[in-house]
Structure 1
Amino acid sequence: MKNLNKHTSTDLPIYQLYIHPFDVSEMKKDIWCDDPVPAKLTIEKKKLNVDISYRGSHIRKLKKKSYHLRFIKPAMYRNSKEMHLNAEFKDPSLIRNKLSLDFFSDIGVLSPRSRHVFIKINGKNEGVYLELESVDENFLTSRQLPSGAIFYAVDGDANFSLISDLDKEVKKSLDLGYEKKVGLEQDEYYLQEMIFQVNSILRADFEKEIEKYINVDKYLRWLSGVVFTQNYDGFVHNYALYRNGETGQFEMIPWDYDATWGRDVNGKYMNEDYVRILGFNTLTARILDVDPFRKKYKALLEQIMNHQFTVEYMKPLIYELTSQIRPHVLMDPYEKGNIDQFDKEPEFIIRYIKARTKYLKSKLYKLD
């Protein structure tokens, strides 16, 4: 999806959706139904036939809905089969998700591209949305990456453990918590084998053996991104797994990062010490138990704190994004009444960066 660039333009693309009133009523009747309805989408005078449904879990209850679109005719648009449109309704800045995904990309993590767009449904303003690139085979080909399997972490059982995060019982299957997006049946075996090995490799052998299954450098970069942005759910959820078909190693891909930069899933203030420097989940604990890996993680944190996670680096990006979408926020029926808070969010995020940096520096000794 090459049009979803990190760099912003002076205006937002306008996406016009046309859905039959009967189908609108059907969607509203059962917000938990994943069955799509037909719609027409117009982007820059190009007309597309699509299927549309609500997306997300708890966010479906909110006034401003998020949507999943699948292209029907043509079946591909901008090298993609589908489109995710996030309302970002609980984030008063509307930029945290994009800010996070771009940050991950900047520190060397595979990350979806995104851009803000303005949605109209049946001629009525629906507001500012974040269009997210789908993590699928096209995600790989657009980056000239080897083909491989992609799994979505769909619930807390994607915790790299033999024990369920949901009921605290031994898992009946090691691929619980994952949904295969791309891949073959044998890739499910590779996923289960990786999770088994994460839990069963002897401590003395872990440093050498784990590299057969996990790209540790990429994992530590991903871990750094989660720790800096402070996405509490990111350790057992809010990610995808990519198994590189050439190396056989798994890599992490972030997803849904609106509850970050000092605010939680409800948009409430989150203390800068909420997520510990050591992170969470079984794989993280085992990797950081290895002295060379832990030292590498510390060096990575220090490097990022000196370059990307700084006010000097982030402030222009924050203000560029908010300046770009502000005129459209004033036309958003769900957001325009909160413009005063929207205007305060850039400084809120900057204060968070300062406070989080101070906290993490005070905890670096734990990695010695």
Structure 2
Amino acid sequence: MSRLNPPPTYQLYIHPKDIIELRKDIWSDDPVPGTFTLNKKKYLIDIVYRGSHIRKLPKKSYHVSFYKPSLFRGAKELHLNSEYNDRSLIRNKLSLDFFSEIGVLAPHSQHVLLKINGKMSGLYLELESVDEHFLKKRQLAEGAIFYAVDGDANFSLISDLDKETKKSLSLGYERKYGTVDDGFYLEKMIYDINTLSNQEFKKEIKNIIHVDKYLRWLAGIVFTQNYDGFVHNYALYRNKETGLFELIPWDYDATWGRDVNGRYMDAGYVPIEGYNTLTARILDVDEYRKDYRNLIKGMLDQEFTLDFLQPKIEDLHQFIRPYVLMDPYVKDKIDDFDSELQFIVQFIKDRRDYLTSRLYKLE
């Protein structure tokens, strides 16, 4: 992979009183105004902190909305992730790129340098928003998009948070794009997944979910070992032309051998069969279980190999290293950054061994 250009530098200007307002309540979702500048072109924006637990970290992540002009490179908003708990700063991008390579819809991401009021804030990962513009850029059919906002997006009738029966079938989801009527299809999907008999499920699920793409999404989680990915960290897209739901991964920094706090996660922590109600029901169908096994086996032979992944990892690491040294939050941890390259390589070796040894469970 050849990289000729440095990451773009995004300049944000926020009035000092608005910065004070932002810092006053890090949990507030009320944005403050500002300007965004790139290559001497200025945009009026709203900006607010983003994320949940990551808001407490010293290096904040941001959600930027454009309103004059209303679009920036075909997008109405972007997400700037600090990746502070990922000492490699590449896990999220590495994961999303991997999903794309195995045939799953995934947002584009790129590293950028961020300056706020002229002061260097560090190296960030820009994540594309999953919305109507995401669909348009890919020439995909119109369709509703729902974000899985917490662990209740588990395809079950039982809450993942309090283990009680859900008060609403749409609990855990937030409609990002579409109409109120689109919520009917989401609720019907959850209802059918949980109430169809085995025989009915086998017959009907292919008319509700794009099964092949679901299995590829499942494989992506299992390979990258995103523990939360089965009930969180995804968006649902319902293609209006086919009527089928697809899943789109989102926020994959807790992967490749590290958990959400950056701690070591054993390479056998996430089972080859994955989790959640829908996964269990799909893999209970012999045909789909066989398809999933074939996907896993094929990816173990092709995409999830050191020959395929290690050059990408090394290239990405080498590309961002000079800019890590410019980041005031992580430049003093450059040894940790450098050691993560080998850590991720070792994880791939160990995860390959684990998954290969568990293929029999899918027979």
TMscore range, shorter length: over 0.9
Q: CA deviation at 1:46?
A: 1.3
1:178-222 per-position Cα deviation (integer Å, ceiling 9, x unaligned) = 000001111101000000001111102222211111010000000
Counterpart in the other structure of 1:104: 99
- 2:270 matches 1:275: yes
Alignment correspondent of 2:171 = 176
Match of 2:305 in 1: 310
- Hey, what does 1:76 align to over in structure 2? 71
Distance between the aligned counterparts of 1:72 and 1:248, measured in 2?
A: 32
Quickly say closer, same or farther: Cα 1:171–1:24, change in 2 above 3 A. Answer: same
How far apart, in 1, do the equivalents of 2:175 and 2:88 lie?
32
Amino acid at match of 2:78: M
Output the amino acid matched with 2:81: N
How far residue 96 of structure 1 moved from its aligned partner, in angstroms, is 0.2
Query: Do structure 1's residue 204 and structure 2's residue 199 form an aligned pair?
Result: yes
Give the deviation of 1:166 after TM superposition. Answer: 1.1
Structure 1 gap ranges (5+) = 1-5
1:132 aligns with 2:134: no
Q: Distance in 2 between matches of 1:291 and 1:181?
A: 35
Query: Within the alignment, does 1:29 sit opposite 2:29 as a pair?
Result: no
Equivalent residue letter for 1:31: I
Could you tell me whether the CA contact under 8 Å between 1:12 and 1:324 is conserved in 2? no
1:223 is aligned, of 199, 218, 227, to: 218
**Aligned ranges for residues 249-268 of structure 1 at < 5 Å?**
249-268=244-263
Q: Which amino acid counterpart does residue 42 of structure 1 have in structure 2?
A: T
Within-5 A mapping of 1:28-177: 28-177=23-172
Gap regions ≥5 residues in structure 2 = none
After superposition, the C-alpha distances for 1:256-302 in whole angstroms (9 at most, x for unaligned) are: 00000000011111100010001000000000000010000000001
Return the alpha-carbon distance in structure 2 between the equivalents of residues 320 and 43 of structure 1: 25
Q: Number of residues paired by the alignment?
A: 363
Mapped contact 1:319–1:346 kept (Cα < 8 A): yes
Note if contact 1:10-1:324 (Cα within 8 Å) is conserved in structure 2: no
1:272 and 1:253 map into 2 onto residues whose CA distance is: 24
Stretch moving more, 227-236 or 314-323: 314-323
Relative to structure 2, which stretch is displaced further, 7-16 or 85-94? 7-16
Residue 345 of structure 2 corresponds to residue 350 of structure 1: yes
User: Structure 1 residues 263, 82: CA separation in 2 closer, same or farther (over 3 Å shift)?
Assistant: same
Sequence identity (%) = 64
Q: Partner of 2:297: helix, strand, or coil?
A: helix
Deviation at 1:10, TM superposition (A): 3.7
SS of equivalent residue, structure 1 residue 252 = strand
**8 Å Cα contact 1:18/1:122 also seen in 2:** yes
| RMSD of Structure 2 on Structure 1 (CA) | 1.0
SS at 1:309 equivalent: coil
| Distance in 2 between residues matched to 1:156 and 1:342, nearest whole Å | 30
1:296 to 287, 291, 296: 291
Deviations 1:83-107 (CA, angstroms, capped at 9, x unpaired): 1000000000000000000000000
Out of 316, 319, 324, the position equivalent to 1:324 is 319
Kept in 2, the 8 Å contact 1:311–1:350? The answer is yes
User: One-letter code of the match for 2:59?
Assistant: K
- With structure 1 as the length reference, what TM-score do the two structures score? 0.97
Any runs of at least 4 consecutive aligned residues in structure 1 with deviations exceeding 2 A, and if so which? 6-10
Q: Equivalents in 2 of 1:90, 1:32: separation in Å?
A: 19
Q: Which amino acid aligns with 1:259?
A: A
Conservation of the 8 A alpha-carbon contact between 1:66 and 1:86: yes
Look up the equivalent residue of 1:114 and give its one-letter code: S
Helix, strand or coil for the counterpart of 1:225?
A: helix
SS in 2 for 1:162: coil
Residues 142-195 of structure 1 deviation map (CA, whole Å, 9 limit, x = unaligned): 111100000000011100001111111111110000000001111101000000
- Normalization by structure 2: what TM-score? 0.99
Alignment-derived partner of residue 3 in structure 1: none
Provide the C-alpha distance between the structure 2 equivalents of 1:238 and 1:308, rounded to a whole number of angstroms. Answer: 22
| Preserved CA contact (<8 Å) 1:8 1:321 | no
1:157 aligned partner, one-letter code: D
Structure 2 residue matching 1:185: 3-state secondary structure = coil
In structure 2, relative to structure 1, the CA distance for the partners of 1:8 and 1:236 (3 Å cut) is farther
Give, as a single letter, the amino acid of the residue that structure 1 aligns with 2:79.
H
